[in-house]
Structure 1
Amino acid sequence: MPDFHRPFSGFSVDNTERVRSFYTEVLGLTVTEGNGILHIDLGDDHSVIVYPKGDAHVPATFTVLNLPTDDVSAAVRDLADRGVEFERYDGMPQDEEGVMKGHGPDIAWFKDPAGNVFSVIAS
């Protein structure tokens, strides 16, 4: 059996500079860059990579990154004040802020500037 060292995941974007600004300035995440690839710090020496695909980028239709928090509604209000628009999905019982409550952990979804889906989710 191979010995895998610290597996990680990644997703693509069309423009790394545009998303880097969003990830750091709007979301407050720690992002580093190496060889044109972004690394979002997930803590405990783990990260997810974000790689450029330019015009070949197709946004993910599933949640690529979940951001756990103690108070989803407060996080949603804060991010909305920073210009983040939350997604509404047919058939999902979301409140006026876009938070789904009472069907698993509280959760709300939004898209990054490249169209990938992120969530704010109760930890």
Structure 2
Amino acid sequence: MFKPKNVFSGFSVDSIEAAREFYGDKLGLPVGDAEMGLLQLTLPSGGNVLIYPKDNHEPATFTILNFAVADVEQAVDELNELGVNTNIYDDPNLPTDEKGIMRGYGPEIAWFKDPAGNVLSVVAAD
């Protein structure tokens, strides 16, 4: 039977230092150095995500991390105060308001990007 010792996710960025500053300083998540110049992001749940540099990095076209929050509007206001733009879509298939929050199509959600262009979200927690 397949029995892994651990499971973790990973994604690429074009600048490890920009990722360290964004995830650690702006978002306030624990970020540590990993082997071979990589970063280890520790999630509030205790899981880890590996962030690795890639010379020909292309941003993910899908949401790579979802931050579950009690109040999406408050989280959006806090992100905007940090200079993080949450109004990234102008798409009728993703109808968002002036703050970038999609309401009425499931849980409230707002998307934003990291410095490498990867898509993240804040989503209402149950």
Task: Tell me if TM exceeds 0.5.
Answer: yes
The percentage of counterpart residues that share the same residue type is: 50
1:21 alignment counterpart:
21
- The size of the alignment, in residue pairs, is 122
The Cα shift of 1:96 comes to 1.3
Unaligned segments of structure 2, at least 5 residues: none
**Whole-angstrom distance in 2 between the partners of 1:102 and 1:27:** 26
Q: Which amino acid aligns with 2:18?
A: R
Q: Which amino acid aligns with 2:77?
A: R
Runs of 4+ in 1 over 6 A off after TM superposition: none
2:43 alignment counterpart:
42
Unaligned segments of structure 1, at least 5 residues: none
Alignment partner of 1:39: what SS? strand
The Cα shift of 1:89 comes to 3.8
Alignment of 1:39-118 (within 5 A): 39-54=40-55, 56-86=56-86, 87-91=88-92, 92-118=94-120
Q: Deviations 1:74-123 (Å, cap 9, x if unpaired)?
A: 01011101100121240122111100011111100011000100001111
Q: TM-score, normalised by structure 1?
A: 0.93
Q: Which amino acid aligns with 1:28?
A: G
Worse-superposed segment, 3-12 or 36-45? 36-45
1:4 alignment counterpart:
4
Output the aligned Cα RMSD: 1.1
Alignment partner of 1:20: what SS? helix
**Whole-angstrom distance in 1 between the partners of 2:83 and 2:102:** 20
**Whole-angstrom distance in 1 between the partners of 2:45 and 2:28:** 17
Q: Which amino acid aligns with 1:29?
A: L
